[in-house]
Chain A
Amino acid sequence: MAIVQQSDSFVTVALWTGAVALGLTLLLAIQIVLMRVSLRRRERREAQVLARWRPLLNQIVVGERPSLPALAPRERLPFLRLWVHLQGSLRGDATEALNAMARGLGVDALARAMLARGAREERLLAALVLGHLRDREAWPQLLPLAELSDSALSLTALWALVRVDPVAAADYLTPLFIEREDWALSHVAGILKEAAAPTAAVIGRLLPTLPQERLPRALRIAEALRVPLPGAVLAGALNSEQVPVVIAGLRGVMTPETIAEVRALLAHEDWQVRVQAARALGRIGAREDVPRLVALLADPQWWVRYRAAQALRELPALSRADLEAVRAGLTDRYAADMLQQVLAEEENA
């Protein structure tokens, strides 16, 4: 019985803990129900907005000029989502008509206000709207947004800036793109596609001045945008002592101007350099490069052998019969297997 008495403090603590857990559970349950109710209400409101505005937007897209009602405050967010969604799927006159309609409704001013004071979700939406509108007035508001650490927000702002003024954006943003390693290269390249020409000019100007550590990323952006690199810049990259710079340089090799450097790099100690050198030679090489590539077919690294075989296939001077003859003459089993695989790939393609 004495033991039972000693468990009193345990009972008190346990009961209180259980009661707190139960209370919190009840709160969570209420919260879940409230959220579901609010979701339903929001969905109903959105459906009403779509029913009211979608036919009007469709009329505008096909060139009609319906009389438009005023945009009620509670309609704003669903309307903007619908509008942006349509903008993304349309091109040409239809997008201009939608822009004119949006300006008529005061959407540009609304989006700028949302950008200044809205919650994160609203700012994301506002940046998209202003990008589609190519709204010059939003430029000073979008610039600081582009420098935020929030990648979704900053990249959306960047996209909007490029849409608003590609030349000014390229001037201002290209150095930022090169610097901000936290921005995925594919995203950056995707955004810059709309400003490929001005960006190419800026990159061309920047490349000779960039420090070695910034070069790989700058060269990758140039490659993604298919910016032809100045010969001196390319030669400098290929002669660099930094492997990432050499690799990035090799990716940018598109003309035989630097073929001597590329050939020299086939013997580089880093296998990733040899891989890229083989690929580059596939693009710019000639018949005289066959022995060099055949030698690479016996490289200890699979990727080097594979790229060398592909490069041989790509050399314009070699026919299928020539390649079969090369394969028949190979004494290294790995080399022969690799060339056979690449020839079979070509057959099946």
Chain B
Amino acid sequence: MSFSSFLVEFITWFVFCYFIALNLGYLSLNLFSLRSLRRKGQEMFMAELPRAYSGLEPPISILVPAYNEEATIAASIRSMLQLSYAEFEIVIINDGSKDDTLEVLKREFALLPFPEAYRRQIPTKEVRQVYRSTRYPNVRVIDKLNGGKADSLNAGINISRYPLFCGVDADSILQRDSLAKVTEPFLRDPTVVAAGGTVRVANGCQVSGGFLTKVGLPTNVWALFQVVEYLRAFLFGRLGWSAMNGMLIISGAFGVFRKDAVVLAGGYRRDTIGEDMELVVRMHRLLRARRQPYRIEFVPDPVCWTEAPEDFRTLKNQRIRWQRGLAESLNANWGLVFSRNGGVPGWVAFPFMLLFEWLGPLIELGGYAFMIWAFFTGMISWEAFGAFLFVAVGMGILLSASGLLLEEMSFHIYPRGKQLAMLGLVVILENFGYRQLNSWWRLTGLWRWLVQKESTWGAMKRKGISQPDAPK
């Protein structure tokens, strides 16, 4: 065998084995998720029944960073005020908005300046003024110089009063009982330092009074693909890792943290795009190094609905940023990987992320490119090329179908048969182009991280969720 033929054979097998390992890895996570979901399903009926125990739940500070949100901020905060939870405060952080966000808040919530003697446990950009609502005693607003989302959350942490805080995007829609459910792990286990909830795509759903009233599927094809992606990412990605205490991501759109643990870790990093993931990875690293017993959990049912991008450009930019955020988070915490006390996060989750999420797009697209090149230059047969595509697509469909199975086993968010059939179709279709396109965007993100090209959050183009009863 000549060297070139050996090389082609080797790369062919390597790419093939990589695809198999990647998909088997995710399928294993799926198995871990199954048991948790089954037990959760058994207890689900109890949520509708009178509780066997009354809650003395820990109070929560809801932190809402806001930048140029004049159009939606008042409705968002009003809906948050209706959350059913024993004791919570809402801290809105106006991050130097250039529009009338602060004026809207002042008007809608009757804000007055408040002499807050707050702690600066984490350094942030200058806080110009703290306001307190005269209508709602549990609403406060921080007006600060622009410093980004991480800086805003840090300012919110400094001013928040309660031992737990929940970071929420200003445009997120929380289910009414979501706080009660996401704090369950903290009640059950005093070592829990963070818990994340499921995020679902709100496009196609109807919203009234800040709450989701009717679940629907989006008609936009980009949003439709993302519905399946979110099912896969949350139901077995995070639930599987959570079962092993190796969860490295809690979505910035909805996560609850123990404040003292976050302060100990130094708060959110301001110089990263993926500040939510970076914080969780750093907490793992620091708590592992201190040999402190802790748990970071995922709760599958407290649902937070978010609007997914519906146009090509916004979606592309979002995915590029996500990949950059992932690369930054892993790069900033090398100390965790294979460390002496690394446990599951250091020995399994971090290497898994590195191999399949960080390097994934490079090897996946490299693999496709190589196979196409090898086929057209006659280095491999069309049978080999076809078989490779068969495996890549077949495993991809299997993976997404298992996400759909978990959804069907647990929550039945999409109740109509038509919706299920549509999701089944998307599970197949997304493997013919969308998934590869996604890998290309992620590769771009990786490249931008490598060359340290500046990337900002930018403005997300929003269509707006249908709100038939919302005041005009």
Contact = CB atoms under 8 A, between A and B. Distances in A.
Given A120-B42, A152-B46, A344-B115, A35 B391 contact: no
Given A28-B401, A156-B52, A191-B53, A17 B20 contact: yes
Chain B CB within 10 A, most for which of A13, A87, A119, A159: A13
A121 B437 CA distance: 44
B119 A155 contact: no
B420 interface: yes
B408 A36 contact: yes
B378 interface: yes
A189 B4 CA distance: 72
Contact of A155 (B1, B50, B52): B52
Interface bin, chain B: 35 or more
A84 B49 contact: yes
B12 interface: yes
B42 A3 contact: no
Contacts of A242: none
A165 B119 CA distance: 49
Contacts of B388: 14
B387 A15 contact: yes
Nearest to B409: A35
B55 A14 contact: no
A29 B400 CA distance: 11
Contact of A159 (B43, B52, B188): B52
A36 to B, nearest CB: 6
B9 A3 contact: yes
A11 B384 contact: yes
B379 A3 contact: yes
Contacts of B50: 84-85, 87-89
Interface string A299-327: 00010011000000000000000000000
A105 interface: no
Contacts of A149: none
Contact of B5 (A3, A15, A188, A190): A3
- Where chain A touches its partner, the secondary structure class is helix
A169 to B, nearest CB: 14
Contacts of A13: 16
A341 B188 contact: no
Contacts of B383: 7, 11
A7 B380 contact: yes
Contacts of B118: 302
B117 A334 contact: yes
A128 interface: yes
Interface in A1-32: 1-4, 6-7, 10-11, 13-15, 17-19, 21-22, 24-25, 28-29, 31-32
Contacts of A36: 408, 417, 420
A204 to B, nearest CB: 21
A2 B379 CA distance: 9
A64 B215 CA distance: 40
Contacts of A187: 53, 55, 187
A174 to B, nearest CB: 16
Interface residues of A, number: 66
- Where chain B touches its partner, the secondary structure class is helix
Contacts of A21: 23, 391, 394-395, 397-398
A18 B387 contact: yes
B405 interface: yes
A39 B391 contact: no
Interface string A38-73: 010000000000000000000000000000000000
Contacts of A18: 387, 390-391, 394-395
Contacts of A124: 42-43, 46
A79 to B, nearest CB: 13
A108 to B, nearest CB: 18
A71 B460 CA distance: 57
A31 B188 contact: no
A6 B405 contact: no
Chain B CB within 10 A, most for which of A10, A19, A31, A181: A10
B48 A85 contact: yes
Contact of B387 (A11, A87, A185, A305): A11
Chain B CB within 10 A, most for which of A18, A36, A189, A337: A18
B16 A14 contact: yes
A151 interface: yes
25 contacts: A3-B9, A3-B380, A7-B9, A7-B384, A11-B383, A13-B16, A14-B16, A14-B384, A18-B391, A18-B395, A21-B397, A81-B49, A124-B46, A155-B53, A182-B188, A184-B187, A187-B53, A188-B53, A189-B56, A190-B54, A191-B53, A224-B56, A334-B117, A337-B115, A344-B115
